[in-house]
Chains A and B, each alone.
Chain A
């Protein structure tokens, strides 16, 4: 059974960079797409971007200037960096997997990141 687990600081200061890692267990990171999705408290889901195991990426146009997603197949991990954060970036951040069929079949449990000084 594939499992995803997010990890990283739960508190980030304004203007700094948010960094999260998703560790994939129970399966290989190869041949799949891996996404970051976030959800502010009480609000809907927002897609941040995806990375293919080979390193190809695609980002939400509204966040593109601040987002970097990378992958480390040797560690079965992929990561998110979001720069110049503000309070509006406070959210639960999820990592998730999809294949060529394009639906998210596995999700991490989510991790709350708060942007505050």
Chain B
């Protein structure tokens, strides 16, 4: 079965850049969506179809997807970006989420 692997945690200094990876076999051939989840809240879409931002998501959030790795990049990290981040794809109409990455802003 298809699996998505994310690093357990990523730390970033305030104002610096964080990169969160999502690994999967030939994931570059799939559309990858990214969600941000803060404690006690439902996930919120931050990127769709690899690199597109929904309305209201700052342009500090960007994404790429190629080969076996998709990447969510958070530029100029802010304290409010501290959260869990999940990638998501579809594989034969089956929904799949990545293992999740906790982003800590130092």
Contact = CB atoms under 8 A, between A and B. Distances in A.
Interface residues of A, number: 20
Contacts of B24: none
Candidate in B33, B95, B97, B100 with the most chain A CB atoms within 10 angstroms: B95
Interface stretch (B41-49, B58-66, B68-76): B41-49
Contact of B42 (A50, A60, A94): A94
B33 A45 contact: no
Given A45-B100, A61-B94, A103 B88 contact: yes
B99 A104 contact: no
B1 interface: yes
A94 B35 CA distance: 14
A103 B48 contact: yes
Interface stretch (A17-25, A83-91, A105-113): A105-113
Contacts of B98: 44
A28 interface: no
Nearest to A49: B95
Contacts of B45: 103-105
B51 to A, nearest CB: 12
B4 to A, nearest CB: 10
Nearest to A60: B94
B42 A103 contact: no
Contact of A107 (B42, B54, B94, B95): B42
Contacts of B29: none
B31 interface: yes
B54 A45 contact: no
Interface of B: 1, 31, 33, 35, 41-45, 48-49, 54, 86, 88, 90, 93-100
